[in-house]
Structure 1
């Protein structure tokens, strides 16, 4: 599982998806969330502004396969 390092204690999910390289833009992040392709700590999430804390596990179901990473 990959690790994504963040500066602050929390990061918004849309920003995190871009930082992790899963989404190239905010629009692409929004599309992933609208398609129910994202989970945070095993729970489905569709809010781009969701505050994701350090230690959270995020999974994204992409057409090329599932990507998982931990926020640190």
Structure 2
């Protein structure tokens, strides 16, 4: 089962998503985090901090779980 991360915009950059999901504490930590952990967006390995995530996208991070981008209610 995936954790639902709510956004109110059309998309969210991966770096902002990682902060919103409480995976990293600051944007400065994102680069190092992506070097140390495999992050998959919709099943594809992703290392770009600025990758745009849209509604329905799934983010999988080993040791952290699976997350789904959903509309804020």
CA distance in 1 between counterparts of 2:69 and 2:52 reads 12
1:34 paired residue number: 35
Q: Count matched residues.
A: 69
Match of 1:53 in 2: 54
**52, 65, 68: which one pairs with 1:70?**
68
After the TM superposition, which segments of 4 or more aligned residues of structure 1 sit over 3 Å from their partners? none
Give deviations 1:18-54, integer Å, cap 9, x for gaps: 0011111112221121235211001000000011111
Q: Distance in 2 between matches of 1:60 and 1:30?
A: 15
Q: Name stretches of at least 5 consecutive residues in structure 1 with no aligned partner.
A: none
Query: Of the two structures, which has the highest relative contact order with CA contacts closer than 8 Å and spacing of 6 or more?
Result: 2
- Counterpart residue number, 2:13: 12
2:7 is paired with a residue of what secondary structure? coil
